[in-house]
Amino acid sequence: MVRVTFPSVLQRHVACPPVDVDGGTLRQVLEAAFAHQPTVRGYVLDDAGALRTHLTVFVDGVVVHDRARLAQRVPAEARVDVLQALSGG
């Protein structure tokens, strides 16, 4: 299973405990995580479905650069960390 975590600062606004989901593309992984708590989706992705500007996603500690398509493969047993980027102030 893939472990998906969300930023601790987001917990103030919406419940988003870590969830375990199946592997696939990053988008499939995130959508599977959002299925547990649908409200989280709008906090992480923008209207066009791209990663919000001031969030950063790491897959096994490596930054995701394809922020719009989220098409990269996420291996089973990987860890996906959604973090608040400091660029947002």
Partner 1 sequence: MPRQLLIATRKGLFVLTERRGAWSLSEPEFRGVPVSMGCFDPRDGSLYAALDHGHFGVKLHRRNGTRWRELPAPVYPQLPKGKVEREGGGRPWPRSLRLVWSLELDPRTPGGLWCGTIPGGLFHSADAGASWTFNAPLWRDPNRSKWSGGGYDTPGIHSILVDPRDPQHVTLGISCGGVHVTRDGGKNWRNEALGLRAAYMPKAQAFDVDVQDPHRLAACRGAPDRVWCQHHNGIFVRDGDKPWREVKAKAVSRFGFACAAHPHDRDVAWFVPAEKDECRVPVDGALVVLRTGDGGRTFTELRSGLPQQHAYDLVWRHGLDVASDGATLAMGSTSGRLWLGREGGEQWQELAANLPPIAAVRWVS
Give the residue, chosen from 18, 22, 49, 53, that forms a contact with partner 1 under the rule CB under 8 A: 53
Amino acid type, 14: V
Q: Is residue 14 a contact point for partner 1 (CB under 8 A)? A: no
How many Cα atoms sit within 13 Å of 52 on the Cβ side? 17
Distance (Å, whole) CA 52 – CA 43: 8
Q: Binding segment for partner 1 among 14-22, 25-33, 58-66, 70-78 (CB under 8 A)?
A: 58-66
Q: Which stretch binds partner 1 (CB under 8 A): 20-28, 34-42, 70-78, 79-87?
A: 79-87
Q: Which is nearer to partner 1, 48 or 65 (CB)?
A: 65
Which residues are near partner 1 by CB under 8 A? 9, 12, 53, 56, 58, 61, 63-67, 81, 83-87, 89
